[in-house]
Amino acid sequence: MYSKGLAPLAAATVVTVTAALSMVFFYAPNDADQGFVQKIFYVHVPMAIVALCGFIAGGVFAIRHLRSGDSSWDLRSYVAIHMSIILGVGVLVTGAIWAKASWGHWWVWDEPVLVSFLVVFLLYCVYYPLRFSIEDPGRQARYSSVFAIAAGAFVPLNFVAVRLAEAYTHPRVLSQTGGSMPGDMRLTFLVSIAGMALLFVTLWKLELTAKHASMQLKRLRNRARVAA
């Protein structure tokens, strides 16, 4: 049910990611100020964008779950959030590496995207203890969906709030994440985003298929045990 279109999707992912990697190493120019290290930006920012979209998608799936009562939407929501949290770890780690290489500190409060991402990440980490400390399965799914919706609405609000705050205390330091990118950097950047997005969707579908299969297996085992 979930694996429809998985093969062509996986193929597209491999092609795009390969293209992105080649472009990052061979096509995009070395940054004048920061040198080779700046290229981590092609991983860090697409990861952040895809993770944030994943969180919001989790919220949208959660809305569909509550409206329809169909638990397959809850599964889609759970996997999307689960994968975005993992990507989130990657965002924070690559962000730290970039900060260390650029400014000599492992963490900087200057970049509002990174800071608001930290808050969002801390929030979504609570998804697991919330979900798994509710025993009733129906309730567990419903409450997780409510959380996913509230947290999904929170993401843009938080971003706006942090950006407003940082504008007051720290002047915008980084211009690469702005619009003033030279053409070849912009192209590499776009291909990187596409590759990361496709990777996310492929892995999402894969995990959905795997979870669905293991749930069916458990169901069959239970039925066999009851019949015996």
Partner 1 sequence: MTRTARAILRKDLRIELRTKESVPAMTLFAITVYVLFHFGLDRDSLDGELASGVLWVTLLLAAVIGVSRLFAAEREQGGIDGLLLAPVDQTALFVAKAAAMFLFLTAVELVAVPAFALLLLGPGLGGALPELLAVLALGNLGIAALGALVAALAAETRAPELIVPLLLLPLLVPVLIACAQATEPLFRQDAGPEDLGRWLGLLTLYDVVFVLLSVAVFDFLLED
Partner 2 sequence: MAAIELERLERRYGERVALAGVSARVEEGQTLAVLGGNGAGKTTLLRVLAGLLRPHGGSARVLGAALPGERWKLPARVGYLGHEPLLYRELSGRENLRYHAALHSVPHSRLETVLAALEIDHRADEPVRDLSRGLVQRLAIGRAILHDPPVLLLDEPRANLDPSAAELVEPLIGRSSGRTRVVVSHDVRSALEESDVALGLKAGRPAPVDAELYR
**Residues at the interface with partner 1 (CB under 8 A):** 66, 119-120, 122-123, 125-126, 129-130, 133-136, 138-139, 142-143, 145-147, 149-151, 153-154, 157-158, 160-162, 164-165, 168
Cα–Cα distance for residue pair 99/93, rounded to 1 Å? 10
Sign of CA dihedral 134, 136, 141, 143: negative
Question: Which of 27/109 has CB closer to partner 1?
Answer: 109
Question: Which of 86/167 has CB closer to partner 1?
Answer: 167
Question: Which of 33/135 has CB closer to partner 1?
Answer: 135
**Taking the complex as a whole, how short is the minimal distance between the CB of residue 89 and partner 1, in angstroms?**
16
Question: Which of 13/74 has CB closer to partner 1?
Answer: 74
| Interface contacts to partner 2, rule CB under 8 A | 136-138, 218-219, 222
**Taking the complex as a whole, how short is the minimal distance between the CB of residue 223 and partner 1, in angstroms?**
25
User: What's the token pair of residue 190?
Assistant: 């776009």
User: What's the token pair of residue 133?
Assistant: 């400390």
**Taking the complex as a whole, how short is the minimal distance between the CB of residue 137 and partner 2, in angstroms?**
4
The b/e string for 180-193 (b: 16+ C-beta within 10 A; e otherwise) is: eeeeebeebbebbb
35 pairs with which residues across the strands? Answer: 31
Greatest Cα pair distance in the chain? 72
**Identity of the residue numbered 218:** K
Decide which of partner 1, partner 2, none touches 222; Cβ closer than 5 to 8 Å per partner kind.
Answer: partner 2
**Taking the complex as a whole, how short is the minimal distance between the CB of residue 6 and partner 2, in angstroms?**
27
Cα–Cα distance for residue pair 105/84, rounded to 1 Å? 26
